[in-house]
Amino acid sequence: MNFVKMQGIGNDYVYVDAVNQKITDPSALAPRIADRHFGVGGDGLILVAAPTDAGKKLGADVRMRMFNADGSESEMCGNGIRCVAKFAFDRGISKANPMKVETQRGVLVLDLWLERGKVAQVSVNMGPPILKPAEIPVLLTGVDRVVNHPWQQVLNMRSMLPTAEWIAASGLADQFTCVSMGNPHVVFFCRDVTRIPLEAIGPKIEKHELFPKRINVHFVQVRNRHELTMRTWERGSGVTLACGTGASAVCVAGVLTDRSDRLVRIALPGGQLGLKWNDADDCVYMTGPAVEVFTGTWPEA
């Protein structure tokens, strides 16, 4: 099986052409091929496949299937979908520009920016945010949106770790906000993201009973109304250098809590993304790089 290692600001996946190759069990393949010691290494596995019949009716050029490093399948990946477009365009699977990519979030439209005939940057219409608790999903009743909701009432993070000193040290705000960009996200704002024990607290929140489909966890520091810094614990993958859907959710959360404007630059450990929550169509637009690292052959499919 031929593969390509690609990354979008450090959010790296193993990409496979599933149009011309048959992948029999991607859920079982993902943990092996994503292993950073015994496999290729990455945050997971992404298949670039032919669109389904439903996707074709909506004009999709290709289909994206994303599997986390633990083998679970996710709905979407913002950094991953940019690399899907580069993979498909550079290899002639589709030369459409804009390109329409079918995901479990729906069919998304991507504008491709070329350098010397190959894709270098991609702007993605991530669609409108989903804010209803039942659709994120978050098991909270009596609220239309989970915006600035007191975490002490439902998460009790003070009891999750042996010490709660990090809460005061990081300047963690007392509230959290939840957003779905086709996959679920919870956003916490703080004064200093470097003081968050992400490796310890991330998995506790991800698997909390409040989130029936687990959740992606983000801690965010506001530099000013146009610049944010975030760190991510990604559902099924752990600490990652970047999360595109997460950055989209953070953009929305910043606006909803009046911490930032609709047009922001977000710094992640792997690099920066440009985000805009467009008032006219309610869609979030994300722009960032797509980079091919190397190609190879895996002994099984």
Tens of pLDDT, residue by residue over 232-264, are 999 999 999 999 999 999 999 999 999 999 999
CATH top class, domain 2-123+288-295: alpha beta
Is it true that 2-123+288-295 and 133-287 share their CATH fold?
yes
Tens of pLDDT, residue by residue over 71-84, are 999 999 999 999 99
Say if strands 2-8 and 291-297 run parallel, antiparallel, or are unpaired: antiparallel
Strand partners, 12: 7
Residue 204 pLDDT greater than 90, yes or no: yes
Tens of pLDDT, residue by residue over 110-125, are 999 999 999 999 999 9
pLDDT, position 153: 87
Q: List, by residue number, the catalytic residues.
A: 77, 243
As given in the structure block, the two tokens for residue 23 are 């992948």
What value does the CA radius of gyration of the chain take, rounded to a whole number of Å?
A: 19
The helix (H) or strand (E) run that includes residue 66 is strand 62-68
Tens of pLDDT, residue by residue over 109-166, are 999 999 999 999 999 999 999 999 999 999 999 999 999 999 998 998 999 999 999 9
As given in the structure block, the two tokens for residue 291 are 């980079």
Residue 300's pLDDT band (cuts 50, 70, 90)? confident
Spell out the domain ranges in the chain: 2-123+288-295, 133-287
Residue 92's pLDDT band (cuts 50, 70, 90)? very high
Topology of the domain comprising 133-287: Diaminopimelate Epimerase; Chain A, domain 1 (3.10.310)
DSSP state of 130: B
